[in-house]
Amino acid sequence: MCSGQDRDHEDRECCPQFAGRVRGFLQPWILLQLSRGSAHGYELLERLSEGEDVANADPGFLYRTLRGFEEEGLVRSSWDTAGSGPARRVYAITDLGREYLHAWAVHLRRTRDRLNRFLADYEALTTGEGGERDVRA
Amino acid sequence: MCSGQDRDHEDRECCPQFAGRVRGFLQPWILLQLSRGSAHGYELLERLSEGEDVANADPGFLYRTLRGFEEEGLVRSSWDTAGSGPARRVYAITDLGREYLHAWAVHLRRTRDRLNRFLADYEALTTGEGGERDVRA
DNA sequence: ATCATTTATATGCATAAGTCACATAAAGGC
DNA sequence: GCCTTTATGTGACTTATGCATATAAATGAT
């Protein structure tokens, strides 16, 4: 259990219990990337580790997710042997994938709203020091 | 797999694959509730099913989470035999619990920001119809 | 007094999700 | 040939979640 001394520390480094954090970003993120244009796994992996949009950059998880998407018909793949290095499996989003992305966005909008309500409640509690607002017990 | 015809439908009803949605709200929600005042599981369960802050209202999950929190020292419990009906196990948040809540809030703020970036990107894509912005492939 | 109902807490099991370590293999440089 | 980089994957394990069900105290009805 982390010390808790540094209240603003990056929790992923020392607090395994925060593994139980809000997750499930990778899937819609993939679909969003692919709806901008086709890409192969390794490329997505690089974008992942660069940006901070998504926490999870595990290759195994990414590749498995892509394969799963293909099984579900959200993406289609083909081999690209053109450039140098080993062949790349290039993924393209399908219409169904775009529909999923849309549905996911709808869901994520709700999630964000929940998040905002939660954070507002939390801040009201800490600002009002003691939490006099709507206390029922 | 859901039809995908009704693009704004409530996905939880018909799309099991959306079980893979953003989760992990219950834990901080519990801590927030308890930091407003002590409560027992059943009470929290009722608040859960009333509000729309958190999706998961499974009793088993809730009770297990509370027990887990107690093991970790985030909450403390005592039996309340006062009122009518069976005894209630009343939970109170500890200082450690409050620290966790704070750390969780920090994390959730980052999550909300990610979510906002994601949604902004998605909306830019659908508004700009075709996604000409920063396309690399 | 017994039986159904409500309140309340919990366990068991199956599956889903995520992590970690490692395996495979093509190309290019040396 | 051998090492490194690029690239795709598999296997095993742990944790998280969902769903069904068990238990039990009090209360009200008969």
Instruction: Write the pLDDT tens digit of every residue in B17-61.
Output: 443 456 778 999 999 999 999 999 999 999 998 887 787 789 999
Q: Which long-range contacts (CB under 8 A, 24 or more apart) does B66-72 make?
A: B66/B30, B66/B41, B66/B91, B69/B27, B69/B30, B69/B31, B69/B97, B72/A1, B72/A17, B72/B96
How many A-B residue pairs are in contact by the CB < 8 A criterion?
146
Average pLDDT, chain B: 80
- The pLDDT score that the predictor gives to residue A22 is 65
Residue A8: inside a domain: no
| Residue with smallest Cα–C1' gap to C21 | A60
Total number of domains in chain A: 1
B60 CA to D18 C1', in Å? Answer: 9
User: For chain B, how far is it from start to end, CA to CA, in angstroms?
Assistant: 30
**Can you give the pTM of this predicted structure?**
0.81
Question: CA(A137)–C1'(D23) in Å?
Answer: 28
Q: Are A102 and B7 in contact (CB under 8 A)?
A: yes
Burial class (CB in 10 A: 0-12, 13-18, 19+), A79: exposed
B88 belongs to a structural domain:
yes
Contact B91, B61 (CB under 8 A): no
Could you identify the residue written with the tokens 């042997």? A81
Q: How far is C-alpha B63 from the geometric centre of its chain's CA atoms?
A: 15
* Domain range enclosing A91: 24-127
CATH at residue B35: 1.10.10.10
Q: Please give the helix or strand (H or E) that residue B112 lies within, else none.
A: helix B95-127
CB B31 within 8 A of CB B93: yes
Of A17, A35, A115, the CB nearest to B125: A35
CB contact under 8 A, A114 and B25: yes
Q: Is A15 inside a domain boundary?
A: no
What's the start-to-end Cα distance of chain A, in Å? Answer: 30
Residue B3 lies in a domain: no
Yes or no, beta carbons of A103 and B15 under 8 Å apart = yes
Residue B133 lies in a domain: no
C-alpha B88/C-alpha B26 separation (Å) is 20
Asked whether residue B70's C-beta has any atom of DNA/RNA strand C within 7 A, the reply is no
User: Is B33 domain-assigned?
Assistant: yes
Q: What are the pLDDT tens digits along chain A (137 aa)?
A: 333 333 333 333 334 344 345 677 889 999 999 999 999 999 999 998 887 777 777 899 999 999 999 999 999 999 999 888 899 999 999 999 999 898 888 888 888 898 899 999 999 998 876 545 444 44
Q: Is the separation of the CB atoms in A105 and B119 below 8 Å?
A: yes
Give the position of tokens 């289609």.
A76
In a domain, B104, yes or no: yes
Closest CA to A122 of B106, B130, B44, B95: B106
Asked if B119 lies within 8 A of A107 by C-beta distance, the reply is: no
Residue B93 lies in a domain: yes
Distance, in angstroms, between A133 CA and closest chain B CA? Answer: 8
Asked whether strand C has any atom less than 7 Å from the CB of B17, the reply is: yes
CA of A32, C1' of C8: distance in angstroms: 45
